[in-house]
Amino acid sequence: MFITYPIFFGLMLGDIAYGIAIVAIAWWLSKKFARNELVIQASGLLFYIGFSTIVFGYIFGEFAGFEYLPHGECDIEGIVGVAQCKAAHGHYHWEAAAHAPGWVTWMTALYPNGGEIQWMWEGMFGLNLAYPFHRVSTHINDLIVLSLYLGILHLALGMILGFREVNREHGFVAALFEKGSWLLVLGGGFFFVYSFIVSPKHSDADYLALLDMFATVGLIVLGIGIFMVVIMLWKYEGIPLPIAIGLGPLESLQILSNTISYVRIFAVGIVGVKIAETGNDMLYAPLGHTLADLSHAGAMDLILIPVLLIGWLGVQVFALILGMFSPNVQAARLHFVEWMGKFYETGGIPFVPFGKKLVNVEAE
């Protein structure tokens, strides 16, 4: 959790301004309540997630809801990266950020070539990573895929940890059926579903043959995994075999639900960006237009300046508060509900601390 929790949070919030604000709040809490251990721990968590938010905000090119990096486009449809465009003998042209003010766009100087860079890494199974990563425009579909694949890796890690625990407590065979079965369901299901979704979109014969192999192998592995789940329910959970046979496939669908749940990384992030973006478009844009041309501003325009400013700041504060709570709730849910259930089991001996209990207290 020390690694994955800040990553998930940063992917969801991903804004330099809000990250700086969270780090500042963490610093203030650590100084104001230096003797309160609980507050110190909370400020430590805020520092980690705030730093992660700054890092991903830099990658996304976002500050207070503004996208400040220039956007590039290749004249060959379907190509995103600069190197890929040049390799295809296309022309890549850039457009400056349309709505970002000057006090934000100066941060393009922190990027190579003033932000006019688009590095793409095309990985296996449709995973594309980019620098910068424009999550609300060019790479919105890539963010969905990334969220799902992070979920698959996260769940697999939880199952491996569970396998280790069961192997240590009950032996290899028990671990193989109780946790290894779910790993097979996860892996086999991934290959089968991926082939099923991608096959209609391709016409290359060699790649289609590879996808057919993925589908066949995935279906076999999935079948073995479901069979092992049935045995696990019958042998280790004590469920009657006829019921276990019907329950096994239904229980296996839980993996699909767990995986899809990680799409919330994408959804929460996009919603947060759109809230701040709406405030910028509806409140800051007219404010900036008025301030840029004060000599022609009317009386009503001058009256609206503080109204628009206060309204815009209010939206930013709301977006920050929502950004601190909603991603935290969702990141905690992914860890405590989806992930820890794969290896953590309650039980054991209740903790009783050393010490004595005061019954009668005398005071002068």
Average pLDDT over residues 59-66: 92
Global pTM? 0.85
pLDDT digits (tens, 9 = 90+) for 182-230: 999 999 999 999 998 888 877 778 888 988 998 999 999 999 999 999 9
Mean pLDDT of the residues in the chain: 87
CA 257: distance to chain centroid?
16
CB contact burial 288-321 (16+ within 10 A = b; e otherwise):
bebeeeeeebeeebeebeeebeebbeebbeebbe
Contact between 151 and 259 under an 8 Å Cβ cutoff? The reply is yes
Residue with the bigger pLDDT between 31 and 296: it is 31
- What are the distances in angstroms from CA 311 to CA 81, 101, 329? 38, 17, 27
- Exposed, middle or buried: residue 237 (CB in 10 Å: 0-12, 13-18, 19+)? exposed
Residue 14 region by backbone torsions, left for phi larger than 0, else alpha for psi between -120 and 50, else beta: left
pLDDT digits (tens, 9 = 90+) for 218-272: 999 999 999 999 999 998 888 899 999 999 899 888 888 899 999 999 999 898 8
For residues 139 and 132, what is the distance between their CA atoms, to the nearest angstrom?
10
The dihedral of CA 179, 183, 186, 189: what is its sign? negative
